[in-house]
Structure 1
Amino acid sequence: MHLDTAQLAALAAVLETGSFERAAVALHVTRSAVSQRVKLLEERVGQVLVRRAAPCTPTEAGQALLRHAQQMALSEADALRSIAGSGAGLAPVRLALGVNADSLASWFIDAMAQAAEPTPGAAPPITFDIHVEDQDHSSELLRQGRVMAAVTADPQPVQGCQVVRLGTMRYRALASPAFMQRHFAHGVTGTALAQAPVLVFNRKDALQERFMRRIARRELAPPVHWLPSSQGFVAASLAGLGWGMSPDQLAREAIDAGHLVELVPGKPVDVALYWQFWRLNVQALQRMTQAVQQAAKAALLP
């Protein structure tokens, strides 16, 4: 079955921007043209590809075609570079990547900067489309075709992907000394943990729950502050708002200064991180993979 490249580009634009209107702007065509192309592609494959909502999302068949369209775009950019003999004058290659918030706030930006560093005459520039997702769920972005690579806690390769181990991110349960005196003066017990306010990143964040179960040996339901910010976790802990699990990379300075202390010294929670990426022989993805491995080696535990 031959698939029309303009129709695939329209599908990808709708799913990447979230709407037919924004896709039309990105493709420099009318909304009706985008709608017609997607409709023709759906008729061609005999399946609905886009859930018309706000934002638009792919069906299972749409996920497969989105991935195909993105792989074609990457391969085309690599082919154009090879023909031209350099990256000069070529449009930037966009890499859609999934990463957990704590990695993004600590070491991942270094990898992005290294991969995007200009290499005159060698490769087209790289731009990034970063999707922030919990490390326990980021591999789902690969399955949906929304990203080309992801930092994940899942060591099992998604179909069509390779996996390399990056290292271990160490988390510690931290609070201010004043908070400790107020809530844990008689020890970090199950009873105290059930009453002390806890910081949780979002509904997918299970690190605090994992720590509490490890200490109390049962499920607890303490008061929760929902705080979707890695730096905000450290700031809120310093302010005595609650206790939370923060990575060493973000909290080390406050720990060394005595502004934050561990609830239970010597009881960190270690999270192994992996890099899953499409099995494509394209230069931009190879550059990013190499940069991620180097930045993770410098920042994470072996």
Structure 2
Amino acid sequence: MFDYKLLVALAAVVEQAGFDRAAQSLGLSQSAVSQRIKLLEARLGQPVLLRVSPPQPTEVGRRLLNHVQQVRLLERDLQGQVPELGESRLPERLRIALNSDSLATWWPAAVAPFCTRHGVVLDHVLEDQDVGLKRMRAGEVAACVCAVERPLAGARSEFLGAMRYRALASPAYVARHIKPGAPVEDLLKAPAIVFGPDDQLQHRYLAALGLKGAFSHHLCPSSEGFVRLLQSDLGWGLVPELQVGAELASGALVDIYSGEPIDVPLYWHHWRNGGELLAELTQQLSRSARQWLIC
């Protein structure tokens, strides 16, 4: 049998990104948290954490984190079925990984009814849609939104819909950098805006134009900042159509070239044994996400 005090300490260190914050969240001293991790490793005969900054779970640590995520959700179901066990004084907290563009557009309205109904609070872990599944694989989150269809072992994935992206810039930027009749290769020299190192949308757009290789770009890891940079004539970039309806209507942003947009499919990944709460959140998203996403 596991000693769940030790597993809770492991989860806290990973979720809080360090021993200090983990100790604060658990109401313990840093030494006590460290001792629990050492005891867990002694019982397993192998390390569960890599002592880097922030601490990272080992392979066995990831398996334990996945386990404790599911146990937390199942315990909530049991508390509702057996009143004698009592209820937690704190609201249920779910850690969800998703991309910044979803958080800036459709996600809040989609999950608000669920959170209000159940008194659930969410920890949002931001990750690019192409790599968000790694957070779930690492045991850091209970579920995630990402662009990968294939689920992890022990998990399910459900198609939510696609987010449409358009290559946009300000009229002034287009007039300065994209001259009528100029070779399309000139776009490689015109600065782009890229969300981060895992953001491949601009690369895909350029490839569709037959362009390969390096291109000039700013990095901007903020959905709101991304749009502000476009409006400030600093670059072109792929933006969710959902996010810039007003800017498109007013002409503040325009398509840099005519052509097909890029539709990015989004999938909801969740543990099969995630309990009733996660199952209901899944149903809520399946019903509501398609109000905003393309089916």
Superposition TM-score, scaled by structure 1 size? 0.92
For residues 3 and 68 of structure 1, what CA distance do their matches in structure 2 show? 11
The equivalent of 2:285 in structure 1 is 292
Query: Aligned AA for 1:3?
Result: F
Instruction: Give every structure 1 segment of 4 or more consecutive aligned residues whose post-TM-superposition deviation is greater than 3 Å.
Output: 87-90, 187-190
Does residue 11 of structure 1 match 2:14? no
Query: What is the CA–CA distance in structure 1 between the aligned matches of 2:47 and 2:262, rounded to whole Å?
Result: 43
- 1:143 aligned to 2:106? no
Match of residue 180 from structure 2: 186
| Counterpart among 248, 272, 280 of residue 273 in structure 2 | 280
Q: Alpha-carbon deviation of 1:189?
A: 3.7
1:31-70 aligned within 5 A = 31-70=30-69
Is residue 29 from structure 1 mapped to residue 23 from structure 2 by the alignment?
Answer: no
Residues 54-79 of structure 1, C-alpha deviations (whole Å, 9 max, x = no match): 21111111111111112111111221
Which deviates further from its counterpart, 145-154 or 255-264? 255-264
After superposition, residues 63-82 of structure 1 pair within 5 angstroms as 63-82=62-81
Question: Does the alignment pair 1:170 with 2:169?
Answer: no
**Contact 2:168–2:236 (8 Å) recurs in 1:** yes
Q: 1:272, 1:189 → 2: CA distance? A: 31
CA deviations on 1:111-134 (whole Å, 9 max, x unpaired) are: 23121113xxxx5x2111111011
For the Cα contact (< 8 Å) 1:173–1:268, is it kept in 2?
yes
| 1:94 matched to 2:88 | no
Distance 1:187 1:155 in 2: 40
Asked if 1:246 is matched to 2:239, the reply is: yes
In structure 1, runs of 5+ residues without a counterpart are: none
**Cα contact 1:93–1:284 (8 A) shared by 2:** no
- Tell me which of 228, 244, 254 is aligned to 1:235: 228
Do residues 269 (structure 1) and 262 (structure 2) align? yes
Which consecutive unaligned segments of at least 5 residues does structure 2 have?
none
Structure 1 residue 266: Cα displacement = 3.0
State the match for 2:115 in structure 1.
Answer: 116
Aligned length: 295
Equivalent position of 2:105 in the other structure: 106
CA distance in 2, matches of 1:184, 1:295: 39
Q: Which whole-Å CA distance do the structure 1 matches of 2:53 and 2:274 have between them?
A: 35
Give 3-state SS (helix, strand or coil) of 1:117's partner: helix
Q: Deviations over 1:165-218 (max 9, x none)?
A: 011111000011111111111247432111111000001100001101111x23
* Cα-Cα RMSD: 1.9
Shift of 1:89: 6.4
Query: Using the alignment, how far apart are the partners of 1:214 and 1:116 within structure 2?
Result: 40
